[in-house]
């Protein structure tokens, strides 16, 4: 064989190296994609509700990272944090080498970045109560834990049905469900309107949403609106670090300035503290149970 | 006793102003009183006036009386106070800075109040003083902090710095504080961010008389200061040298103007959140009617600011009934086009 000039030999070697690199990369990416399409083992969840769902279906040990807002179950405290809805830390997220990332469907930029990095995604959409269990089943199906997810979702369905049955036939009090207010005063009140999982849970627990005719998740309530709608029960939700226990009674008394409201007159203003009210995950059973106890104490 | 200010070029003589003052206060006062009387009667709910004052119905059972006295009257009073405070501050800042674009927002006092309120919301501050809760308290403290810085800038101004430098310094402070607001918002969680954003849209639904009474303290001090200013502002708006030549203690007058306008702004923003455009538009509209003389512009602006903000709040609480719009959105949507009209009308 004729000896090739050094420049040609170098060029051939370079082409061979590039070809090998491409072949290795293609093969490994293909294998990785094939493996992840079956059963993801390194899941990053940017949604606290999805994290709780994964733990509920027994896939907690497969979670590699969670959002900054995850608080439950306690195991999440040991997991790396990767930002939240508005500020996902993409570098940190990629460094965890996820084979599935659970994102909000509205995280357009993040979705594009993950697509470019060829990382599979599960798109989460936040809607009403039926969607929670539907999401749980779809997520279980996606991570190869269909039977465990179905079992967990069915258990939640049964528990919710039991709460509904327990308060069935009772008068349904007109209820105002407040989930935000300025401390110490009746200003900047946000209440649940006739749409969303909180509204659905309230109706399931035997209440009649006093804002049920307004098709929006959050309604800015003025004092005039509260007086005009005359709720018979007021449920005020507090979560995270938003209310220290010593202040609960003081915050309840703030409502006394609206003495004509039946809920105030009849001492039916309840302040409920717990993260289960803001995470549309498996703990909705706990939230529904607490609503039912406050709305129908005679049944408990 | 006639003074040399009677002959000030561009401003009417004092005797003429006295005559016009009665008409000005009568006209704008009637408008303000009409707004104060009519606004509590209108809202998203039908209120029976007979039932409101029917003493045979126990107050605790009288929904009409509670809507009138708990929901509507406090917010009409709050609108009156905030509208007049912002309009007066606008007049004073425009004269002090010799700039028709100046407003209560310009020097950063409003941003200081917003920063205080946003900190209170984000970090769930748990303090109250004489029945005033954390958010307005922190808001007012923030405005005082900003005032201290602006006062420092004005001291530099007294050492020979021009009004333009004070203006630029104030604008820079405003931008700086706005950046800190953004940083604090970044630290907030979803719920707090939501509440911060809503607070920044302004609201007059104060739901009690306590916050109004508390705001009256700094506003009372501010009004006392404003009362000394009308003639002096005429002179200052022409030029410090000219004012000094006419025997005015320009330093003292500027300090009074700055502190009064800042206190009024801080109290207004702490009570209602940032309500844009009232402080810039009302003085200009008033000048179209009464001219540039501050003895007329100041009281007319106070009364017209009252009527304008009560009117805007009425729109805010009825236009999408049973829901309500934040009043800051209404003032901006209505005020923006009016301001553009003013600008291009002059051009």
Domain boundaries, chain B: 4-346
Q: How far apart are CA B23 and CA A171, in angstroms?
A: 62
Of B72, B208, B322, the CB nearest to A257: B208
Cβ pair A227:B207 closer than 8 A:
no
How many Cα atoms sit within 13 Å of A204 on the Cβ side?
25
Instruction: Quickly state the pLDDT bin for B12 (edges 50, 70, 90).
Output: low
Across B25-34, B116-125, B161-170, B225-234, least confident range = B161-170
Topology (CATH level 3) of domain A43-160 = Rossmann fold (3.40.50)
Asked if A267 and A252 count as a contact pair (C-beta separation under 8 A), the reply is no
Contact list in A for residue B205 (CB cut-off 8 A) is: 187, 222-224
Q: Which candidate from A184, A224, A247 shows the least CB-CB separation from B67? A: A224
Q: Which residues contact B206 (CB under 8 A, 6 or more apart)?
A: A187, B74, B75, B78, B212, B271, B272
In tens, the pLDDT along A143-177 reads 999 999 999 999 999 999 999 999 999 999 999 99
Contact A52, A153 (CB under 8 A): no
Contact (CB<8Å) B324/A222? yes
Chain B residue numbers with beta carbons less than 8 Å from the beta carbon of A190 are 194-195, 198
Whether pLDDT at A55 is above 90: yes
Task: State the pLDDT at residue B246.
Answer: 79
For the stretch A36-41, contacts whose Cβ atoms lie closer than 8 Å and that sit 24 or more positions apart, written own/partner, are A36/A99, A36/A100, A36/A120, A37/A120, A38/A144, A39/A143, A39/A144, A40/A98, A40/A99, A40/A100, A40/A120, A40/A142, A40/A143, A40/A144, A41/A99
Question: Is the CB of A257 less than 8 angstroms away from the CB of B189?
Answer: no
- For B144, counting Cβ atoms within 10 Å of its Cβ (0-12 exposed, 13-18 middle, 19+ buried), the class is middle
Q: How close B80 comes to chain A (CA, Å)?
A: 18
Q: What is the rounded CA–CA span in Å between residue A62 and residue A48? A: 15
Q: Which of A289, A57, A51 is nearest to A155 (CA)?
A: A57
Residues on chain B bordering chain A, Cβ-to-Cβ distance under 8 angstroms: 43-45, 59-63, 65-67, 70-72, 121, 124-126, 128, 133-135, 186, 189-191, 194-195, 198-199, 203, 205-208, 211, 317, 322-324, 326
Domain B4-346 architecture: Orthogonal Bundle (1.10)
Q: Is the pLDDT of residue B174 over 90?
A: yes
ipTM of this complex prediction, to 2 decimal places: 0.83
The pLDDT confidence band at residue B209, using thresholds 50, 70 and 90, is: very high
A·B CB contacts under 8 A? 104
CA–chain centroid gap for B199, Å, is 16
CA distance B18 to B290: 12
A283-295 average pLDDT score: 97
- Window from A27-31, A197-201, B126-130, B245-249 with minimum mean pLDDT: A27-31
Local confidence band at B167 (pLDDT 50, 70, 90 cut-offs): confident
Q: What is the pTM of this model?
A: 0.83
Give the domain ranges of chain A. Answer: 43-160, 169-299
Residue A281 DSSP label: S
Interchain pair B208, A260: CB under 8 A: no
pLDDT of B254 above 90: no
- Chain A CB contacts of B130 below 8 Å: none
Domain A169-299 has CATH 3.40.50.1980: yes
The shortest C-alpha distance from A186 to chain B (Å) reads 6
- What confidence score (pLDDT) does residue B237 get? 77
Measure CB to CB from residue B207 to each of A69, A87, A187 and give the nearest one: A187
Residues of A in contact with B189 (CB under 8 A): 69, 240
Which chain B residue's Cα is nearest to A256?
B60
CA dihedral (B26, B29, B31, B35) in degrees, to 10, reads: -150
Q: What's the pLDDT band for B3 if we cut at 50, 70, 90?
A: very low
Q: Is the pLDDT of residue B122 over 90?
A: yes
SS3 label, residue B46: coil
Q: Do A43-160 and A169-299 show the same overall fold?
A: yes
User: What pLDDT is recorded for position A194?
Assistant: 93
Tell me the shortest Cα–Cα distance from B181 to chain A, in angstroms.
Answer: 17
Token pair of A93 as six digits:
């997220």
pLDDT, tens digit, 9 for 90 and up, residues B78-96: 999 999 999 999 999 999 8
Q: Which residue of A has its CA nearest to B43?
A: A224
The mean pLDDT of chain A is: 87
Residues in B closer than 8 angstroms to A227, CB to CB, are 45, 63, 66-67, 70-71
């Amino acid at each position: 064989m004729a000896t090739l000039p050094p420049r040609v030999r170098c060029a051939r070697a370079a082409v061979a190296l590039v070809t090998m690199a491409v072949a290795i990369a293609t093969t490994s990416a293909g294998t990785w994609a094939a493996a992840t399409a079956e059963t993801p083992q390194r899941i990053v969840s940017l949604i606290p509700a999805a994290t709780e769902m994964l733990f509920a279906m027994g896939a907690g040990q497969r979670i590699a990272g969670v959002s900054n807002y995850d608080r439950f179950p306690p195991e999440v405290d040991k997991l790396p944090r990767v930002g939240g809805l508005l500020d996902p830390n993409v570098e940190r997220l990629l460094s965890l080498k996820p084979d599935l990332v659970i994102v909000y469907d509205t995280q357009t930029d993040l979705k594009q970045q993950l697509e470019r990095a060829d990382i599979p995604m599960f798109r989460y959409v936040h809607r009403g109560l039926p969607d929670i269990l539907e999401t749980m089943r779809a997520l279980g199906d996606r991570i190869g834990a269909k039977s465990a997810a179905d079992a967990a979702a069915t258990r939640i369905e049964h528990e919710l049905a039991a709460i509904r049955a327990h308060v069935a036939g009772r008068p349904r009090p007109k209820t105002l469900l407040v989930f935000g207010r300025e401390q110490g005063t009746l200003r900047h009140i946000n209440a649940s309107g006739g749409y969303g999982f909180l509204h659905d849970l309230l109706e399931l627990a035997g209440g009649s949403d006093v804002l049920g005719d307004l098709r929006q998740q959050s309604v800015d309530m003025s004092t005039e609106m509260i007086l005009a709608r005359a709720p018979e029960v007021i449920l005020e939700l507090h979560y995270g670090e938003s209310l220290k226990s010593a202040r609960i009674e003081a915050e309840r008394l703030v409502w006394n300035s609206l003495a004509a409201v039946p809920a105030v007159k009849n001492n039916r203003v309840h302040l409920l503290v717990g993260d289960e009210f803001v995470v549309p995950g498996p703990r909705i059973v706990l939230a529904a149970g607490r609503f039912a106890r406050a709305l129908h104490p005679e049944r408990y | 006793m006639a003074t040399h200010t009677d002959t000030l070029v561009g401003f009417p003589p004092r005797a003429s102003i006295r005559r016009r003052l009665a008409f000005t206060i009568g006209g704008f006062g009637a408008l303000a009183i009409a707004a104060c009387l009519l606004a509590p009667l209108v809202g998203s709910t039908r209120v029976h006036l007979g039932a409101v004052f029917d003493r045979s119905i126990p107050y605790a059972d009288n929904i009409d009386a509670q809507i009138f006295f708990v929901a509507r009257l406090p917010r009409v009073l709050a609108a009156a106070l905030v509208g007049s405070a912002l309009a007066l501050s606008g007049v004073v800042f425009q004269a002090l800075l010799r700039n028709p674009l100046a407003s209560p927002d310009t020097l950063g006092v409003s941003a200081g109040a917003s920063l205080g309120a946003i900190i209170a919301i984000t970090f769930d501050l748990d303090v109250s003083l004489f029945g005033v809760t954390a958010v307005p308290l922190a808001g007012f403290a923030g405005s005082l902090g900003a005032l201290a810085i602006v006062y420092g800038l004005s001291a530099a101004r007294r050492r020979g710095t021009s009004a333009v430098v004070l203006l630029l310094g104030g604008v820079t402070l405003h931008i700086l504080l706005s950046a800190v607001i953004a940083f604090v918002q970044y630290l907030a969680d979803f719920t707090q961010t939501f509440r911060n954003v809503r607070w920044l849209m302004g609201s007059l639904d104060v739901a009690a008389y306590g916050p109004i009474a508390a705001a009256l303290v700094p506003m009372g001090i501010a009004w006392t200061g404003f009362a000394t200013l009308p003639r002096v502002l005429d002179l200052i708006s022409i030029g410090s040298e000219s004012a000094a030549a006419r025997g005015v203690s320009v330093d003292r007058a500027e300090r009074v103007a700055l502190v009064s306008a800042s206190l009024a702004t801080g109290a207004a923003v702490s009570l209602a959140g940032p309500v844009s455009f009232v402080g810039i538009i009302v003085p200009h509209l008033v000048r179209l009617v009464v001219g540039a003389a501050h003895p007329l512009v100041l009281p007319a602006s106070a009364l017209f600011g009252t009527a304008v903000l009560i009117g805007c709040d009425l729109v805010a609480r009825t236009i999408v009934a049973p829901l309500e719009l934040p009043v800051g959105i209404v003032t901006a949507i209505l005020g923006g086009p009016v301001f553009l009209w003013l600008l291009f009308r002059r051009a």
